[in-house]
Structure 1
Amino acid sequence: MSDNTWILTAHCASELGTVDAVTGYLYHNGHYIEELHSFDDKISQRFFIRACFRTDGGFDEEKFRTLFELRADKFDMQWELQPQNHTPKVVIMVSKFDHCLNDLLYKNKIGQLNIEIPAIISNHPDLKPLADWYQIPYYHLPISADTKPEQESKLWQIIQETDAELVVLARYMQVLSDDLCKKLEGWAINIHHSLLPGFKGAKPYHQAYEKGVKTVGATAHYINSDLDEGPIIAQGIEPVDHTYYPEDLIAKGRDIERITLSRAVKYHIEKRVFLNDNRTVVFKD
């Protein structure tokens, strides 16, 4: 990642000239576009654009923002600008399963995910040794029906104190309250197996085995008050057959979960995801 590369994202109502509002501004100010994606949704009549551009020489961010705001105002455009090498703070929530957490920690360690992890929060103590190995603070917050409000209050306090820009539920096996879901809406990502809604409850892969499923997969989505029904960011799927016993389906599912979750996190931190009502626009790399 280069210090002189920036990401500009914007969305607004579909109007003539929206592409030029971004690309024309970058061209006339001598900025070279390295990557460009745009989409015009005919149903919602919304326009979305993401431009990754390079600046040669000095870059006056304040001047850029002031002048672009004048151009964006003509279209009532909502926009964001961030350096490509920005490192967002990401709080990870987890229970006992470690495959998604392990994948995120490893990819962060080798530089594949450009994030800072100031805290790992869990309702169980099991994964503290893993957090300790990576030298990341681990917060064990047990929860019961009686203590849920108090536990979520502590959880929210940690998220605020760490200045988290994203929260990742890496197989956090607790249903969040409507109040916390509303606070995290649009900036918290969850992962679950894609056997839902057909195979609910305990041992979904055993249920799937009994029905002879031919595919397994995972879905990463933003959380909202509808359990496992938030706007989808990424999905993964792989074929299976009669040779897969329940334990094989579980292993395959875990692999897909970790890959799909890390992909969704990557898309989010690189500003590739736009909320479009209860759907998303995702500009893949």
Structure 2
Amino acid sequence: MPETTHQHLHNFQEANKDKGRLLICCPDQPGIVGAVSNFLFQNGANIMESSQYTTDAYEGTFFLRIEFDCPGLQGKEEEMKSKFRAVAENFNMKWDIKFVYELRRTAIFVSKQLHCLRELLWEWHSGELVTDIALVVSNHEDARELVESFGIPFHHIPANKDIRKEAEAKQLELLEEYNVDQIVLARYMQILTPDFVAAYPSRIINIHHSFLPAFVGANPYGRAYERGVKLIGATSHYVTNDLDEGPIIEQDIMRVDHRDHAEDMKKIGRKVERSVLARGVKWDLEDRILVHKNKTIVFN
């Protein structure tokens, strides 16, 4: 790991050693915010940021994200969680307390297109993407020099539909060895099996162009040019067993017109893809996303 990146992460941990995030999903009813606020007050915590959302009255689901500061938080993680269980049970909550100084360990999967990988590595190197990139896995060798220049382990594991199970077995073994918390598919052009997805539920983030499902398969930009599309975009989402249909995290678009040829569209598309993926990963790392059924609540 480059010294500057190591220092960024160390400084972040030191600056956030007393900070936590409380994430809640539960049936809506009066008193939730009061009970949570009182719990934090009773445990010496000060609320720094709070966001909430309630679905329509028919469904009535309440979502809450609170970022708090609590002196001496390090060392009493389990105590805080234990004490909060009584509050959670009273309101039938799905909940989690995240401790900001605990850096998440990320694995990046990539194939031959490196634009999204480059964006993630640059934001990580500059301190904008706060995570410990544990390793990069690829079914090609193209990214090795780039990845190793950042001091990150690179692992080449050939993969295709004929050897998918064998490849995933090696990948899962590596992910366990490196104690990985989440996976980012930075244009990894392989379909994941249900067993692989089940090992990291709502912890695999993917990026795809917005032509799906209109231009599925090879050469989407060429076919989009022939069709005369006027918007190019990208979608970052969590991976599920329904291909490219998982809960959406972030989307963006850029306009094109008849003067933009297929290669121009490809360049524009790559620009959108890398920014949309980076934003999605950043919000996930900041615990700003709550997954509910097949959609997300994003407190950005």
TM band (smaller chain): over 0.9
Match of 1:25 in 2: 39
Match of 1:157 in 2: 173
Deviations along 1:104-149, one digit per CA (max 9) or x if unpaired, are: 1111111101111111110001110011101111111112333221
Taking structure 1 as the reference length, the TM-score comes to: 0.94
The 8 Å contact of residues 21 and 72 in structure 1, kept in 2 or not, is answered as: no
Alignment match of 1:53 (pick from 68, 91, 108): 68
SS in 2 for 1:175: coil
Alpha-carbon separation, structure 2, partners of 1:144 and 1:135: 28
Distance change (3 Å), C-alpha of 1:200 and 1:57: closer
1:220-239 aligned within 5 A: 220-239=236-255
Unaligned runs of 5+ in 2: 1-14
Match of 1:128 in 2: 144
1:146 is the counterpart of 2:162: yes
Deviation at 1:27, TM superposition (A): 3.2
Alignment match of 1:15 (pick from 9, 29, 38): 29
Unaligned runs of 5+ in 1: none
Deviations along 1:195-229, one digit per CA (max 9) or x if unpaired, are: 11111211111111112111111001111111101
Deviation at 1:270, TM superposition (A): 1.1
Deviation at 1:56, TM superposition (A): 4.1
Match of 1:104 in 2: 120
Match of 1:38 in 2: 52
Deviation at 1:85, TM superposition (A): 3.0
Match of 1:280 in 2: 296
Alignment match of 1:2 (pick from 1, 11, 16): 16
SS in 2 for 1:87: coil
Match of 2:6 in 1: none
Alpha-carbon separation, structure 1, partners of 2:212 and 2:32: 39
Match of 1:79 in 2: 95
Deviation at 1:184, TM superposition (A): 2.6
1:167-182 aligned within 5 A: 167-182=183-198
Which moves more between the two structures, 115-124 or 60-69? 60-69
Alpha-carbon separation, structure 2, partners of 1:58 and 1:118: 26
Alignment match of 1:191 (pick from 202, 207, 210): 207
Match of 1:217 in 2: 233
The amino acid across from 1:265 in the alignment is: V
Deviation at 1:90, TM superposition (A): 0.3
Alpha-carbon separation, structure 1, partners of 2:116 and 2:294: 25
The 8 Å contact of residues 88 and 165 in structure 1, kept in 2 or not, is answered as: yes
The amino acid across from 2:64 in the alignment is: I
Which moves more between the two structures, 40-49 or 182-191? 40-49
The 8 Å contact of residues 184 and 223 in structure 1, kept in 2 or not, is answered as: no
Alignment match of 1:88 (pick from 80, 87, 104): 104
SS in 1 for 2:190: coil
SS in 2 for 1:201: coil
Deviation at 1:15, TM superposition (A): 1.9
Which moves more between the two structures, 8-17 or 120-129? 8-17
Deviations along 1:41-79, one digit per CA (max 9) or x if unpaired, are: 125422111001122466643433232222121012122
SS in 1 for 2:205: strand
Q: Percent identity?
A: 39
Alignment match of 2:130 (pick from 103, 109, 114): 114
